[in-house]
Amino acid sequence: MAKQNVWVVRHPEGWAVKREGASRASFVTGTKQEAEQLGRAIAQNQHVELITQNRHGQIQSKDSFGPDPFPPRDTEH
């Protein structure tokens, strides 16, 4: 089974951390910063990618924690 990436998305009650393809959120927080911290911890533990959306639903950033033999140069972090 393929591992699912972790998404930080807008939620009616704030910000949510969701697994890719999941219908329900794993966590819902009041701030985006809290959601990113939780999502980052999950992504690091599962060795998957963390994908963060902005408030308009567009992808804001991606951060990969998986094993990549030729990782791209990260200009964001």
Q: What is the pLDDT of residues 28-76, one digit of tens each?
A: 999 999 999 999 999 999 999 999 999 999 999 999 887 766 666 766 6
**Would residue 34 count as lying in a domain?**
yes
Total domain count for the chain? 1
**Would residue 30 count as lying in a domain?**
yes
**Would residue 52 count as lying in a domain?**
yes
Residues 6+ away with beta carbon under 8 Å from 76? 61, 63
**Would residue 70 count as lying in a domain?**
no
Q: Are the C-beta atoms of residues 39 and 6 closer than 8 Å to each other? A: yes
Neighbours of 61 (CB within 10 A): 13
Beta bridge partner(s), residue 62? 51
Domain that holds residue 42: 12-64
3-state secondary structure of 32: helix
Supply φ then ψ for residue 11, to 5 degrees: -140, 150
Tens of pLDDT, residues 3-32: 899 999 999 999 999 999 999 999 999 999
